[in-house]
Amino acid sequence: MTTLLQVDNLTKKYVNNNVVDAVSFELEEHTATALIGPNGAGKTTTLSMLAGLVSATSGALQFQGDAKQDIRSIIGFLPQYPKFFPWLSALEFTEMAARLSGVETKQATMDAKKTLEFVGLGDAVNKKTGTFSGGMKQRLGLAQAIVHKPKLLLLDEPVSALDPVGRRQVMDLLKELQQKTTILYSTHILNDAEEMTDQLLFLRQGKLVEHGSLDEVRTRYAEPRIVIEFEGEQELRRFTEVTKWQMTSKGLIVSIDIRSEKVEMSSVLSVLSVGKFLVRKVEWQTASLEDIFMKVAVV
């Protein structure tokens, strides 16, 4: 794969506080990367520096191709809370965004119409943006970010303000866009990161504390365990009395760490069968992205 963007020791300092502290990573073409971290971790500042809206204190960005190319022509940016001119129609606003990104006037009009149709606003091209709902504004924000066909799409919490239906629709749009461009998005909705990501970047207090593909990160923090849910307290108590495995329990559910106990599922099933234990379910689990997030990104 071809590297689209190389980020080296990107730093933003305000007074004595490093909001972003020597962050380095690469983005490959046509991939989706999730930037994950709690509030105040530096996600928005990182995206703003990449978009050229905030100057870095130090560090370097290297885009593929001509170093002199206008950043506005290769980057599309959707802020967390997009703002619009309420007196402009959706078409006028999107056309303006295209022209500001270097698209010629006639082409900008055609591209704006096609883009608004793509994001689901084909029936609202002539409506004033001041009349738009929150979901429509989010779609319009996405339209202005992609109308000029950027190589890199930067999205700051793109679905956080949407209801479940709107969130699903926008996520489907982003999956389709991934076939044409490279996406870097910040999110605190971990299900989204599990659903659409090639790479995870975990930020904590401005530092990049973990990164890799979802499978790589899960492998490093696997904590595989066997989880058993019993029918009643008597069954659970009887199980703990006849086994020597160290386990944790919550209500009628027990969890066995199979690495520390060196136990296999077949052994657990054998004990349950021989003892004729009444159980609701037995399953193998590993650390969820939420578990990993709490260990890596939260102090």
CA dihedral 121, 122, 127, 131 (to 10 degrees): -20
Range of the domain at 282: 225-286
> Which tens digit of pLDDT belongs to each residue from 121-171?
999 999 999 999 888 898 999 999 999 999 999 999 888 777 788 888 888
Is residue 70's pLDDT more than 80? no
Residues 255, 165, single domain; the answer is no
The domain tally of the chain equals 2
Is pTM beyond 0.85? Reply is no
Q: Are 214 and 200 in contact (CB under 8 A)?
A: yes
Domain annotation covers residue 21: yes
Residues 197, 93, single domain; the answer is yes
Residues 33, 143, single domain; the answer is yes
Residues 87, 213, single domain; the answer is yes
So what's the pLDDT on residue 181? 92
Indicate which CATH number applies to the domain containing 52. Answer: 3.40.50.300
Residues 282, 199, single domain; the answer is no
Q: Which of 189, 161, 153 is nearest to 75 (CA)?
A: 153
Is residue 69's pLDDT more than 70? no
Domain boundary pick from 200, 220, 240? 220
Domain boundary pick from 220, 251, 272? 220
Instruction: Count CA within 13 A, CB hemisphere, residue 3.
Output: 8
Q: Are 220 and 212 in contact (CB under 8 A)?
A: yes
Residues 104, 235, single domain; the answer is no
Q: What percent of the chain stands above pLDDT 70?
A: 97
Domain boundary pick from 204, 220, 236? 220
